[in-house]
Amino acid sequence: MPTVTFEINGTRQVLADVDPATPLLWVLRDALGLVGTKYGCGIAQCGACTVHLNGEPARACSLPVASVEGQSITTIEGLGPRGELHPLQEAWIAMDVPQCGYCQAGQLMSAAALLKANARPTDEDIDRAMAGNLCRCGTYPRIRAAIHKAAEGVRGEGV
């Protein structure tokens, strides 16, 4: 079987002997031990597996690993700068967003991509950007509030 090489959370990763059709999700979870990215549906409907592919949100369950050859992947484990929390992670903790918590990695990855593109999202912007992420517990009001809070923090720091 072929070899696939890509960058994962800033580190070059060489995968030997991998079925090129394997979804990135299962490479992350089974082979690399990065289990923060979650399986929820397998058909890009729930967003639990959201990662960043070259900075853009992507559903890892529907990305064949061969398609990320030479690309850069960021997962929830790499969202914050080394050892630190991303402002969204800070806001998620402070606003007590999680209930069961299973969808939250995916929610955070979608939210991070939103803030990168739009530092002052409105509720409508948030609804649009987060529409692909299902939360079965109904944490939506706090997700929205936490995104606003993080956006304020990011702007306040002049980032």
Partner 1 sequence: MSRHVYTTEVDEPLVIDCLARAQHAFGRSGAGMARRTFLKLAGASGLGLTLGFSLNLRAATDGAEPPALNAFIRIAPSGDIYIYAPNPEIGQGVKTSMPMIVAEELDADWQRVKIEQAPIDPRYGLQFSGGSRSIAVNWDALRQAGAAARAMLVAAAANKWSTDPSTLRTDASRVFNARGESLSYGELAAAAALLEVPGPSSLRLKQREDYRIIGTAIPGVDNRAIVTGEPLFGIDQQLPGLLYASYARCPRFGGTVVSANLDEIKRLPGVEDAFVLDAKGSHSDLVAGVAIIGASTWAVMQARKRLQVEWDTTHASTASWSRFNREAQQVADDGDGEVLIDNGDVGRAFDDAGSVVESFYTYPFAAHASLEPMNCTAWLKGGILDIWAPSQTPQRGIASASAATGLAAQNIRMHQTRIGGGFGRRLLNDYVAEAAAIAQRVSAPVKVQWTREEDFAHDHFRPAGFHKLKGATDKDGRLSAWQHHYITLQFNGEIVSGGSLRENEFPVLNVPNYRLTQTALDTGTPCFAWRAPGANSVAWVFQSFIHELALAANRDHRDFLIEIMGEPRWFDAGNPNSLNTGRAVDVIKLATEKAGWGRPMPHQRALGLAFHFCHAGHVAHVVDVGVDDNNKVTVHKVVVAADVGPVINPSGARAQIQGCVIDALSTMAGLEITLENGVVEQSNFDSYRPLRIAATPEIEAHFIASEYPPTGLGEPGFPPLAPAVCNAIFEVTGRRVKTLPLSREGFTV
**Binding stretches for partner 1 (CB under 8 A):** 19, 22-23, 26, 29-31, 33-43, 45-46, 48, 75-77, 79-80, 85, 89, 92-105, 108, 126-128, 130-131, 133-145, 149
Of 6 and 92, CB closest to partner 1: 92
Three-state SS across the chain?
A: CCCEEEEECCEEEEECCCCCCCEHHHHHHHHCCCCCCCCCCCCCCCCCCEEEECCEEEEHHHCEHHHHCCCEEECHHHCCCCCCCCHHHHHHHHCCCCCCCCCHHHHHHHHHHHHHHCCCCCHHHHHHHCCCCCCCCCCHHHHHHHHHHHHHHHHHCCC
Please, what is the minimum distance in Å from the beta carbon of residue 129 to partner 1?
A: 9
Of 139 and 154, CB closest to partner 1: 139
Please, what is the minimum distance in Å from the beta carbon of residue 88 to partner 1?
A: 8
Please, what is the minimum distance in Å from the beta carbon of residue 150 to partner 1?
A: 11
Please, what is the minimum distance in Å from the beta carbon of residue 28 to partner 1?
A: 10
